[in-house]
Amino acid sequence: MKTFILDVDTGVDDAFAIMFAARHPEINLIGITCVDGNTNLKQVVINTLKVLDAADGKNIPVSAGATRPLIEEPKYAEHVHGKDGLADLGTPNSKREVDPRNAVELLRDLVESSKDPVTLIPLAPLTNIALFVRTYPETAKKLEKIVLMGGSASGGNATASAEFNIWHDPESAAIVFNSGIPITMYGLDVFNDLKMNQDKANQLLNSGSDCGVFAGKLIDHFIQRLHRDVTLGDYGAVAVALYPNLATVEKYKVVVDTTYGPGRGQTVCDKRPYASLELAGWHKDAPEVEVVLKIEVDEIRNLWMKTIIGN
């Protein structure tokens, strides 16, 4: 059994991750914190509670955190995730209550009270996590590790160089990467590998499970709207946190570019075998990060299907 906390900007692929984490018998999901990203914070919270309804997640506190990045104005991804951030399916709102604590306070309480080591899994811009690291550094150090969806060792999606979650709030990302907490970066090098096609959507739609039908609708909607297969995206980070043997990783020194040029938000990964000879100087203090370069696609996708619909 592993103890996880998710930080989300739900988001269609965040939904796939939440469903899995709430349902998998070897995951003790002790809380979910929300941050603005794919859409505004209020909508992220609404979406997260809806997903927990579909997943039948029991007693999982959900709290709201940052409404915007530290420095820049928010830039939402509603063109990808729909106006409501969750494919505009018109799903009724949940009757679940939001935890009254701010995300930072909930993170502190959960980490301090956990008897088991906690893995934090941010699937969104890192604003909440940076605020947590700065507000309660001693508590943050008690985390076993952070497995985050974000960044890339091979080009971006929000810009040519930067991945969305890092680009949305590069200053927060820099704080988290430099926190000293062990980090696994599940980025764009693998993010799009977990493709779901129309057959898989139909299997979910005909599964007879509420969670399966909800997931099937999300995938079906995307395939119809974007005319391409959909990735399980953020879910992959949760799978790799649960079963690290399903990923191939390399350790690189990583620097988050916080300058205001074309590289803003890029995670610069030093892959050079002779990296210790770095001449520019910035590299010396850069943290070593475990970067996921390859995943066992079929196994990870099957694991998700089995957890959502039982086969």
User: Per-residue contact track with ligand BDR, 155 to 184, x per CB under 6 A?
Assistant: --x-----xxx-------------------
Which residue stretch of 8-16, 26-34, 100-108, 273-281 sits at the interface with ligand BDR (rule: CB under 6 A)?
8-16
- Cα–Cα dist 118/112, whole Å: 10
Q: Which is nearer to ligand BDR, 228 or 272 (CB)?
A: 228
Does residue 212 belong to the site contacting Ca ion (CB under 5 A)?
Answer: no
**CA distances (Å), 79 to each of 11, 53, 109, 122, 152, in order?**
11, 25, 35, 22, 21
Residue count at the site for ligand BDR (CB under 6 A)?
Answer: 16
Dihedral sign of CA atoms 17, 20, 22, 26 in order: negative
Q: Return d(Cα 104, Cα 285) in angstroms, integer.
A: 27
The token pair that represents 115 in the structure block? 């008897």
Using rule CB under 5 A, residue 11 touches Ca ion:
yes
Residue 234 C-beta: closest distance to ligand BDR, Å? 5
CA end-to-end span of the chain: 21
Among 110, 149, 242, 289, contact with ligand BDR (rule: CB under 6 A): 149
Closest approach of Ca ion to the CB of residue 14, in Å? 4
Residue-wise DSSP of 241-294: HH-GGGEEEEEEEEEE--SSSTTTT-EEEE--TTGGG-SSSGGGGPPEEEEEEE
Q: Which is nearer to ligand BDR, 108 or 237 (CB)?
A: 237
Q: Is 38 in the site for ligand BDR (CB under 6 A)?
A: yes
The token pair at 116 is 């088991």
* 3-state DSSP assignment of residue 132: helix
H/E run at residue 198:
helix 198-205
d(CA 151, CA 172): 13
Residue 164 binding: pick among ligand BDR, Ca ion, none (C-beta 5-8 Å cut-off by kind)? ligand BDR
Which one of Ca ion, ligand BDR, none interacts with residue 196, CB within 5 to 8 A by kind? Answer: none
Q: Rounded to an integer, what distance in angstroms lies between the CA atom of residue 267 and that of residue 170? A: 9
Residue 140, Cα to own-chain centre: how many angstroms?
Answer: 18
Closer residue to Ca ion in complex, CB, 80/98: 80
Range 55-84, binding ligand BDR (CB under 6 A): 77, 80
> Nearest residue by C-beta to ligand BDR?
164
CB of 159 to Ca ion, least distance (A): 17
Residue number, 136 or 186, with CB nearest to ligand BDR = 186
Whole-angstrom distance, CA of residue 307 vs CA of residue 18: 12
Indicate the residue among 91 and 207 with the shorter CB distance to ligand BDR. Answer: 91
Residues marked active site are found at 9
Q: Which is nearer to ligand BDR, 105 or 193 (by Cβ)?
A: 193
Confirm or reject binding of residue 87 to Ca ion (CB under 5 A).
no
Q: Does 14 engage in binding with ligand BDR (CB under 6 A)?
A: yes
Smallest distance from the beta carbon of 80 to ligand BDR, in angstroms?
A: 6
128 binds ligand BDR (CB under 6 A): no
Assess whether the previous peptide bond of 11 is cis (omega < 30° from 0): yes
CB atoms within 10 A of CB 280: 6
Interaction site with ligand BDR (CB under 6 A):
11, 13-14, 38, 77, 80, 123-124, 149, 157, 163-165, 191, 233-234
Interaction site with Ca ion (CB under 5 A):
9, 11, 14, 123-124, 234
